[in-house]
Structures are given as structure tokens and as C-alpha cells.
Structure 1
Amino acid sequence: MSTSITVTGFLQSQSRFAEADLSRVRRAHTNGPSPLIPPDCWPLAEQQYLRFLSLKRLYPTELLIPDGYALRVWQGHILDTRSYRADCERLFGRFIDHFPYLGLDKQAERNDKNEAVRCLQTLQARHFPDCADLQA
């Protein structure tokens, strides 16, 4: 894991992620009789997803996978392909792939997936100590 990230650079990258328009994802995931994300959980889910994107930019070679509601936000964002593609190009300069089948077939892949979730949680605790104990 790289540790040569400046605080200034990190804070500058943060503001870019707030520009992602997730309003359609929010509507699709929080409405209806059985929402994928309870409306009162949306703010935390969105915050954790944007923090995931921020950490993915800071640690581009790390396999990072969000879990819980943040994963649902990512999957919903990906389904809005035009928006997701444009956001990826603007934020990363490339498309960030998602392989939803990681861990389904082999124990080694399950271990990789679990490690990627733990790695993200460790980085979140390091960079965002204000919500280290909050997992949606």
C-alpha cells in the first residue's frame, strides 16, 4: 500500500467526487415498497461510496471492494452506464471495472474478495476516522 499521499492532494481529490450526480441512483434504490437502500440510510451509503471512489483514486493498484449499501450504490451507478463512464473518465481518466462474480467460484477468490473489503475498511479508518465504526 502506498503511503506517500499528501493531505493537500487528498483533500483536493475529495471535492471532485462530490460532483458525481447520483440522484437517479438514489431514486431507483430508495423508492418503492421494498427499497434496496432505506431512504434514511442513503446519506451514509452515498458518503461511503464517494469515499470508496476517493480511495480508489489514491490507491489505484489496490483491489478495493465496498460492502453493504455502498456496494449497492456502486452497482447502481454502474447500471447508469453513461453517467458512470463519464464520472470515471473525469475522476480517474479511465473506466473502473467491477467484477461482481469475484469469490463465487473458488476459495482463493473468496479470500481475495474478503481481503479487498478489509483493505478498503482499513483505508477508510485511516483516511476517514470520523466514521470508522459506521458501516451501512
Structure 2
Amino acid sequence: MERFSNKLSIKLEGNRKLVFDDIRKKWLVLQPEEFVRQLLLHFLIGDMKYNRNRITVERGVSVNYDQRRTDILVFDRDMRPFLLVECKAPRVSLSTDTFRQAAHYNGPLRVPYLMISNGRESYVAAIDYTAEDYRFLPSVPEW
């Protein structure tokens, strides 16, 4: 993911470092989790050729009557949720709890693919709703 660092538009404003989000079309404070989110967006659009018009960032979703935000949600060509990505700061270790959090957000979405990443490590799983199971994949699925 680090190889995308030079593709980020970063500026200083006072004592704050900002990054431009091409999806939301606005400058954001460059927090560690935001850094990971922006790197992943560049990877999905640049390397994986995902359509930027089918990606939402920090989209609201209602989970058990609570309002939550998905980090990255990708839709397929028919505008069905396709891939849900949960981003963590690089210092945060990925764990079963991280995967459970993403799975919890996925409840109302029912995406076929779920991904968690801290920028250093990433895990992608294909979800089998019929068997109520999942399997980890070696890479991000083709869009």
C-alpha cells in the first residue's frame, strides 16, 4: 500500500496535514485511519480498476437501529453492494474482533466480499450466506 503514498494529494494548513479525497471531493485531516483509507482507494481504482463512480466512503448504514458508517463500500455494475472494506490505523492489529466489526456492519448490506486492512496487512473473505460461513481469499476480487 505504501507505494500509493506519492499519489496522495497532501497539503499543510496551519499545523494540520490534509489529504484530498477524490471520492468525496474534499480535503480531510490526515489521520492514520484516513491514510489507510486513501491508500486503499488508490489501490482499488488504480490497480484493481474498480469504477470510482461505484465507490462510497463513510456511507451511513443502519445496524440494529444504530447509525454506523462504512469505511469503503463498493457497488457492482447493477449497483448492488459488492465489497465492504473496514480500515484501521497502521498501528492497530487486525484480529477476529476487527473482522466481526466489519461483519456486523455488513448485516443489512449482505455484500459477497468483506475486507479488513490496516495498510500493512489486509484480509479479504468471500461470504457464503447459505452456509453461514466465509473463506479467506488470496487477493481482492475482480470488480
Give the alignment's TM-score, normalised by structure 2: 0.31
Larger strand proportion of the pair:
2
Instruction: Identify the structure with bigger relative contact order (alpha carbons < 8 Å, sequence gap 6+).
Output: 1
